[in-house]
Structures are given as structure tokens and as C-alpha cells.
Amino acid sequence: MPRLFTSMLIGFVDFALLFLYDSGYGLDPLYIGSSLFLGKISIAFFQFFFGWVSDQTTTKIGRRKPYIIAFSPLMSLSFICLLLPGVFLGSTTGGVPMFIWFASFNFLFQGLYGMLTAYQSWLAELFPVQQRPKVSMIQNILNFSGTSITALFTMVVLTDLEDLLKVDPSAIPTNFLVSTITVAILVTVFLYTTAFIMPVEKMEPIQTNMKEDFLNLIRDKNFLKVTLMIGLASFAWSMIGQYMLSYTEEVLGLGGFQFYIAAGLIIVMTIVSVILWRKLITKIGKKKPLLILLGMAAFIMLFSLFGLIPLSNYFIFGSIFVAGIGLSLGAWNIYPYLIYADLAEDSQKRGKGTIKAGIYAGFPSIALNLFQAVSLFIAGVILKLPDYGFVVGSKSIGYVLWGPITSVVLIITLFYSRKYIELDFSWERSHKTE
């Protein structure tokens, strides 16, 4: 239930912040990159730390629910402040005050979001291995429905918002104001509803210390290799998320009804992709579909270079390109928490005690978000690259080069994954036989 609206929140952050603070508020790209970097550092720390803390928590309502109840309203409030700086700062635009506001509330929001991902531990604790691909598929259909709604909203609303903010940063359109506040309220409502509906985890108490748990994770070589793989891939996915809207608007020049078509394709292709990859995983395991996904995504991202070719209309190319991005992102997002749950159970099967789903879901956030932080900082830096005269308008060549950069990272991830990681376990096959 909360996936739809948490995805809308993080979707705003992933798709809209660079565009909103760059094109709307005129903040320097280096300030933007630094703020995005700090946000990912925050989620890296708090997702790991509260995964471990929630593993140790023992209450009548379980391990994860107390934190959902405590932190949901704070996350919603920080989201409102992050998306609506003009309401609080008035006509201030660009400069140090806007940078401090952006950096502070992005750090707070992403940290709180990381704490609340503790509920993802239920995938390992409340569902057997043979049910997890289906559960993950359902989660991600709602996940990408939320993300797609956000993409549609940002494409349609933020492009108009850009011109208004340049005139008066405090002139927030009513539709953007009401939508932001509504989504922020609904995510808390649905997180609270989930906390009351889901059963309490029936698991043995975990009494360990962080040092011991950390050392056990370090000794799990396959877990570390998978964590590095997810971090490498996240470098690419993060840059894709930040640039997709700006590329579509600034380079391809799509607008009006064409935006609706592009957004509709994203929605359709992400849902189709989630269903298709769930079937592939169930039929042939997790690793082979992962390699197919990485190769497909690397090929698709090379096509950002088509922005260098002068065309009278980029609609057909743009539609194919965003559909390919939707297909790739949909397939990828069925993996992370599914993998974490299986790795946590694999550790338990190898005699490492009870399942520590929180720390197994939280620790990879360190690598994932460090890679994302570097990616987002670079996303800001490459916007400082000059225009060499063959990019639409007076825009930086960085609006085109981001595609090949992500493609190289995805190819590296593909070859690394093929050689070093294990995702399909013998005990999992025996479970399916039973």
C-alpha cells in the first residue's frame, strides 16, 4: 500500500529536483550537485543504521512499525519544504540561502525515507522464497505507477512552472501546491494504514551488536559482491532519473500532447517490464534476466546521442527512447529488495542464526547511495560543460553525454555481474520443488 505514494515522493526527488532548482530557481549546478550528493549520503547512513536498529527492536507491535509511526509525518513535512521553497523563502532565488534550504531539507527528507525503508524487511520475514518474486512484482507495479504519475506530473506541470518561477519564485501555481501537499499527506496515511494492517513479525529476538553484525556482513563475500553490483548499477539509474525530464524538455523539445504520449509510454512499459521480468525470474532464475536487462539498458542509453542530429521533430525518437528507459527501469526495480531478502535467508541457511532482514536490506544502501551521490554530483558538474554549437539552443553538451556515460557504467556492471555474483541458490530450488 505505501509503495504507490512513497514512490511518488522519491520520484519527485529523482525526476524533478535538478529541473526544479536549475530551470525554475536558477540555482548554480554545482550547488545542485552538492545538495543531491548530501541527500544520498544521508540515505546511505540512515537506511543502514535504522535497518540494524529495527532488527534489535522488540515491541508489542513488532520491529518495524514503531519507526513507521514515528517518522512518517516528519518525512511528509520535509518533502513539502523541499518541493515548495518559494512558500517559505519568498522571492529569494539562487544563491547561498536557496542552497542551504535545498541541501538541508534534501538531507532530512532522504534520511527519513531511508529510515522508513525498514518495512521492506517484511519481504524476508513474512513471505517464503517462492512468493517473493510475485510480491516484488506487485510492489513494483505500484512503485512504478507512482513513479510514472510523478513523471507525467513533472513533464506537464513543471515545464509551465519553470516560466512562472523565473518571474516570481514565490508564485507557486495552485495545482503544484495542492498536489505536493496532498501526496505528502497520503503517504503518511497509507504508511500508517500498512502499519496497522500487517501482522507482527513472528521471529526470535535478535540480540547482537553492530560491530558483530557488520563483521558478519563483511565475511559474506557474495553479499559484498552483490552490494557492489547494485552500487555500480545505481550510478547509472540515478543519472538516468535526473536527466530524463531535462533531456526530453531541453534537447528533444517535446511539449504539450507529446508529453502525455511519452509519459503514457513510460507507465505502460514499466508495468509490462515488471510483469515480464517476474515471469523470467520465476522460469530461469534471477541472474540471466539481470544480464539481459543490463545489456538492453546499456544499448538504449547510447541513443541519447541522437540529440546531436538536427531534426525538425524528435517525437518518434523521443517516444522510443523514453519507452526503452521505462522498460529498463521497470525490470531493474524488481531486483534490489528481492535480492536482499534472498541473501538474508541464505545467510541464515548457512548457520548465521536468525534472519537479520533489516541490516541485509540496510547495509547495501551505503554502497548504493554513495554511488548515487557521486552520480548526482557528476550530473551537476557536467551541466557546466560548454555548448559546442550542436546542441539545441545554448544548452551544455552534458545534456547529451549523460547517455553514453551511463551506458559505459552499465556495461561494466554487466561483465562484473556475469563473472562474480551468485543470485540463484540451491536451497531456493529445493523450496520451489517442495
For the stretch 403-428, pLDDT in tens is 899 999 999 999 999 999 988 887 77
Residue 283 DSSP code: H
Provide CATH code, domain 3-433. Answer: 1.20.1250.20
* Of the candidate ranges 129-143, 338-352, 354-368, the one whose mean pLDDT is the lowest: 354-368
* Percent of the chain's residues with pLDDT above 70: 82
Mean of the pLDDT values across residues 310-329? Answer: 83
Residue 159: the pLDDT is: 61
pLDDT at 260 over 80: no
Residue 92: the pLDDT is: 65
Q: Which of 167, 171, 125, 36 is nearest to 356 (CA)?
A: 125
pLDDT tens digits, 146-164: 766 776 666 666 666 666 6
Residue 156: the pLDDT is: 62
pLDDT tens digits, 133-150: 788 778 877 876 776 677
Residue 275, Cβ density class (10 Å: 0-12 exposed, 13-18 middle, ≥19 buried): middle
In this structure, how many other beta carbons lie within 10 angstroms of the beta carbon of residue 256? 9
CB 5 within 8 A of CB 186: yes
Residue 433: the pLDDT is: 43
Residue 434: the pLDDT is: 41
Mean of the pLDDT values across residues 293-312? Answer: 87
pLDDT winner (highest mean) among 61-75, 146-160, 394-408 = 61-75
* Of the candidate ranges 90-104, 151-165, 224-238, 392-406, the one whose mean pLDDT is the lowest: 151-165
This prediction has a pTM of 0.67
For 149-153, the CB contacts below 8 A with 24+ separation are 149/8, 149/11, 149/267, 150/7, 150/8, 150/11, 150/12, 150/15, 150/16, 151/11, 151/15, 151/244, 151/245, 151/263, 151/266, 152/259, 152/260, 152/263, 152/264, 152/266, 152/267, 153/179
* Of the candidate ranges 4-8, 178-182, 197-201, 211-215, the one whose mean pLDDT is the lowest: 211-215
Instruction: Report the alpha-carbon distance of residue 66 to residue 166 in Å, rounded.
Output: 43
Of 112 and 173, which is predicted with more confidence?
A: 112
pLDDT at 355 over 60: no
**Alpha-carbon torsion (385, 388, 394, 400), positive or negative:** negative
pLDDT winner (highest mean) among 32-36, 105-109, 420-424 = 105-109
* Percent of the chain's residues with pLDDT above 90: 15
Mean of the pLDDT values across residues 272-299? Answer: 90
pLDDT at 285 over 80: yes
Of 300 and 175, which is predicted with more confidence?
A: 300
Give one DSSP letter per residue of 340-372, joined into a string.
HHHHHHHHHHTT--S--HHHHHHTHHHHHHHHH
Q: CA-CA distances (angstroms) from residue 364 to 233, 332, 426?
A: 12, 16, 23
Q: Which three cell numbers stand for residue 61?
A: 507491535
Residue 418: the pLDDT is: 93
- Split at pLDDT 50, 70, 90, the class of 385 is confident
pLDDT at 322 over 60: yes
Residue 145: the pLDDT is: 75
Residue 203: the pLDDT is: 63
- Split at pLDDT 50, 70, 90, the class of 71 is very high
pLDDT tens digits, 185-235: 988 998 999 888 888 887 665 555 666 666 777 778 888 898 889 888 988
Q: Which three cell numbers stand for residue 242?
A: 535526473
Residue 386, SS3 per DSSP: coil
Residue 108: the pLDDT is: 94
Give one DSSP letter per residue of 388-409, joined into a string.
-S-SSTT--THHHHHHHHHHHH
pLDDT at 373 over 60: yes
Average of per-residue pLDDT values in the chain: 79
Q: What φ, ψ does residue 160 adopt, rounded to 5°? A: -75, -35
